Amino acid sequence: MQNPKPGVPTREQIRRAPKVLLHDHLDGGLRPGTVVDIARETGYDGLPETDPDKLGTWFRAAADSGSLERYLETFAHTCAVMQTRDALIRVAAECAEDLAADGVVYAEVRYAPEQHLEGGLTLEEVVEAVNTGFRDGERRARENGDRIRVGALLTAMRHAARSQEIAELANSYRDSGVVGFDIAGAEAGYPPTRHLDAFDYLKRENNHFTIHAGEAFGLPSIWQALQWCGADRLGHGVRIIDDIEAGPGGQVSLGRLASYVRDKRVPLEMCPTSNLQTGAASSYAEHPIGLLRRLYFRVTVNTDNRLMSGTSLSREFEHLVEAFGYTLDDMQWFTVNAMKSAFIPFDERLAMINEVIKPGYAELKAEWLFDQATAERPLASGSAGSEG
């Protein structure tokens, strides 16, 4: 009797599946060993640990501590070792390599150029160093048998006053590796409307931007990001769940903002592990991504800060597979959502979907056929197959 087609992917299949990442912070994804190396080379003596394994553990514990001060301290250390051209090139190249090794075929990685000026670099020199690193990492990934394309998102800090300058910087490098703009930082007290000049400028330039909204703060942050600022995507957007009412019988009612987000296919850059750390969700099984996927919002799966969360995009999918029983079909749905929402030209997005993503998942989904045939066909004995 033929076994049914297996639905839940294995850990190895999850890793090999082509994946797309839209929300990943460069300063949140360093290798612990790299942090130690650059600190030693540059004379930075502020690290809490100098053993890479212990330092990696410290980063995760600090991010899990529930203390905002300790969480922010983690970025103080990573930014401290990202103040020279060589350091930025190394960090960006390793980022591309690590993502490619995890099966990511397209990534948009964000960073704030204004946070990397303490060593005397200009904003332009920071962007050019990171772009050089991404290209080096793409090349090294190819040499390792992996394929990835990385685009940069330039981030302005919402508590600072340089968003117009960073928006202009993003626009000037839009044909040289930078695919869009972002604002990040504490939401409460720093609404996105403080940066309307930057967003209006980008819209006039027909450029793309995403906004961190609906993570630590609620629906007003999402509403402002969309209706006042005109964001193409929402960074996190997890609090849109506050505008969805689920009844005891399973019926669901969407408020007007949630309906707008779904109807307009606004991409949500959700980061499950990070959301657990910041208290935006209490567990993977209770993360709003489960309901939002069932309601066909344009949800994407992301890492946010791989070092602080001790995660990778494969691990994020592993958690969701365990929590919701997702199949390769679900993974493909999330991945196609992300590729549709990327900030590269339409024809290139379409080619990635049709020539990389769909064939990759088709191959993975077909593996059970060959495993089935091997399992059901016993090896012939010595003379059973011979002709008399």
Looking at the annotation, which residues are catalytic?
215
Q: Is 195 marked within a binding site?
A: no
**Residue 114: how many CB atoms within 10 A of its CB?**
18
Q: Is 77 marked within a binding site?
A: no
* Residue 282 buriedness (CB in 10 A; 0-12 / 13-18 / 19+): exposed
Strand ranges for 204-317 from DSSP E: 209-213, 233-236, 244-246, 252-254, 268-270, 299-301
Q: Which helix (H) or strand (E) holds 274?
A: helix 272-278
Give CA–CA dist 243/267, Å, rounded.
16
Closest by alpha carbon to 318, among 272, 382, 369, 376? 272
Q: Which helix (H) or strand (E) holds 34?
A: helix 32-42
Cβ contact 91:131 at 8 Å: no
Q: Is 169 helix (H, G, I), strand (E, B) or coil?
A: helix
Q: What is the radius of gyration, based on Cα positions, of the chain? A: 22
DSSP string, 123-165: HHHHHHHHHHHHHHHHHHHHHTT---EEEEEEEEETTSS-HHH
Q: Is 25 marked within a binding site?
A: yes
| Backbone region of residue 191 per phi and psi (left: phi > 0; alpha: psi in -120 to 50; beta: other values) | beta
Q: Is 116 marked within a binding site?
A: no
Give CA–CA dist 92/159, Å, rounded.
25
Closest by alpha carbon to 216, among 183, 185, 245, 262? 185
Amino acid, single-letter form, for residue 11: R
Q: Return binding residues for Zn(2+).
A: 23, 25, 212, 304
Q: Return binding residues.
A: 23, 25, 27, 185, 212, 304
